[in-house]
Chains A and B, each alone.
Chain A
Amino acid sequence: MLKDAAAIVGIGETAFAKALAPSETSLALEAILQALEDAGIDASEVDGFASYSMETTDEVEVARNLGAGEITFFSQVGYGGGAGPACVGQLALAIAAGQCRVGVVWRSRKRGSGKRIWSDPSIQFSTPAAWTRPWGLIRPVDEIALLARRYMHEYGATRDHFANVALAFRKMANRNPRATFFEKPLTREQYAEARWISEPLCLYDNCLESDGALACVLVSAERAKDCRQAPVYVHAFGQGIGRQSHTMTNYWSEDPLMGPAWACAKQLYRNSDIGPSEIDVAQIYDAFTPLVPLSLEGYGFCDRGEGAAFTEEGGLEVGGRLPTNTSGGGLSEAYVHGFNLINEGVRQLRGESCNPVENARTCLVTGGEGVPTSALILRK
């Protein structure tokens, strides 16, 4: 069992923007070197890697640029936005099992200036895209909007609930100088008047398209005591693929509104001393606003169908039921496949967040609901 055997001791990140000049490799190295500096660990000590399978910079490239030591553990996790917490979790397991000592996780992506994956008609033609794209269900937003409409129909959720999510995270970003939407507020009127992208979802239900890179450094709990920063322990880790679930187009399971978060949460809490009621702050994957109420249900913060109501009365804001995405998240800080949620989780528990949650001792970080996913419980 993992339970605090490994800790995150360093975090790093580049600037975030619609377009950055350096290559993805160069951005990755910048973030990694910053994370190692933050930890006070020399690059020559790095011997473990975990990364997203969608990463373009491979481990060999990173290692030879860093001047890393002999690498004894390296793994990649698939499914884009579902992968972030799993990269941290798998590396933590590897450290706990003695497969490596100093592990680095990173994600570097030029999704702001690069091309939109969905715009290439020749790709993704495995199941299930062959059963969706020919009819014009082209983009991730279309795929999630189909679930969102059903969620509204079944549980009485409204666009106002999705606006609650967008506005709450925008407020967080307004106080975060690193965020794309620092000091740029969003009003409910602006939300209501925004152009449609895929009805029932509008522009502000969609995450940003960003260039940027982030990284973090993990060591054993023992080694963590000697690092520069206070350790943030990986308390629990889960991954999940639901029964008969499909990636993004989860339309063929018994209940498509119960996504992979449900399987992931079961495993997450099975090995955790910390349950949903003991989580002080959350970083929930937010490529699209409806993923947040669905995740709140999946991770046990409320019952089925109550995720929308959970966002009412500032439920996701600082001082609310569950302060969420305190850096602004993918909707308002930057969209780097959710890695900014990991670093923000660490900052909260170090007391360094721009939107500090008082006495926060525990933080949930999730990957994307809708794809094979993962989650972490971090603690001080």
Chain B
Amino acid sequence: MDDFAPLMPPIDETNAAFWEGARVGELRVQRCVDSGRLIFPPRSRSPWGRHVEPAWEVVSGRGQIWSFVIPHPPLIPQFSELAPYNVILVALDEDPTLRMVGNLISEPGAAINSVPSQEIEIGARVRVVFEAESEELPLPRWVRD
């Protein structure tokens, strides 16, 4: 998985809690402590209510596929080898307007091209899994629920 290293997001004060969660197998998002609304992607101030600093909490990690694509080359080298693979957008159960980009895989640890593309459907239920703990930044991916 070292080939993926250049695409790893830089960790900063706004997203650090998300990646700390990923390392312990938790899917974390922010919540506005004033309005109670969930927030993703993370930010330093809540866009709602009194614009206070959001709190972090763990969500169920379950949702539905909102949409998906199957990229084909030309791509960057890290992904060319895996193409065609899938990228899905998951609407979270807690708030379907909170969507996460991910990959549907056949089982934890499987490759992002492990599910045949014709088996992927909008509306399918999925749950989050995390890559092996040895990875510095375990990416949340998704399996059928």
Contact = CB atoms under 8 A, between A and B. Distances in A.
Interface stretch (A42-50, A72-80, A90-98, A121-129): A121-129
Contact of B41 (A127, A136, A147): A127
Contacts of A135: 87, 101-103, 112, 139, 141
B87 A146 contact: yes
Contacts of A253: 97
A301 B5 CA distance: 46
B101 A198 contact: no
A70 interface: no
Contacts of A251: 66, 89, 99, 101
A138 B101 CA distance: 12
Residue among B7, B66, B78, B117 with max Cβ neighbours from chain A (10 Å):
B7
Given A137-B87, A150-B67, A251-B99, A199 B7 contact: no
B14 to A, nearest CB: 8
A136 B112 contact: yes
B75 A139 contact: yes
B122 A150 contact: yes
A21 interface: no
Nearest to B66: A150
Interface string B1-42: 000101111100001000000000000000000000000110
A48 B47 CA distance: 37
Interface residues of A, number: 39
Contacts of A149: 67-69, 122
Contact of B71 (A116, A134, A138, A254): A138
Nearest to A253: B97
A41 B4 CA distance: 54
A159 interface: no
Contact of A137 (B101, B122, B139): B101
Nearest to B139: A134
A145 B41 contact: no
B139 to A, nearest CB: 6
B41 A131 contact: yes
Contacts of B7: 121, 133-134
Interface in A104-140: 116, 118-119, 121-122, 125, 127-139
A251 to B, nearest CB: 5
A216 B94 CA distance: 50
A125 B71 CA distance: 20
Interface string A238-264: 000000100001011110100000000
A146 B68 contact: yes
A136 B68 contact: no
Given A145-B69, A196-B70, A199-B69, A131 B79 contact: no
Contacts, number: 106
Contacts of A139: 71, 75
A136 B103 contact: yes
A254 B99 CA distance: 10
A227 interface: no
A197 interface: yes
A160 B41 CA distance: 34
Contacts of B98: 252
A146 B67 contact: yes
B84 interface: yes
A195 B9 CA distance: 31
A131 B100 contact: yes
Nearest to A133: B7
B73 to A, nearest CB: 9
Given A146-B87, A146-B89, A136 B122 contact: no
Contacts of A136: 71, 75, 79, 82, 85, 87, 103, 112
A122 B7 CA distance: 7
A121 B41 CA distance: 20
Nearest to B5: A121
A146 B100 CA distance: 12
Given A130-B41, A134-B139, 10 more contacts: A118-B76, A131-B41, A135-B102, A136-B75, A136-B85, A136-B103, A137-B87, A139-B71, A142-B69, A199-B70
17 contacts: A116-B74, A127-B43, A128-B41, A129-B9, A131-B100, A132-B101, A136-B85, A136-B103, A136-B112, A137-B71, A142-B71, A150-B122, A153-B122, A196-B72, A198-B72, A199-B70, A252-B99
- What 4 A-B pairs come out closest when comparing CB atoms? A130-B9, A199-B70, A150-B67, A121-B6
Interface of B: 4, 6-10, 15, 40-41, 43, 47, 66-72, 74-76, 78-79, 82, 84-85, 87, 89, 97-103, 112, 117, 122, 139, 141
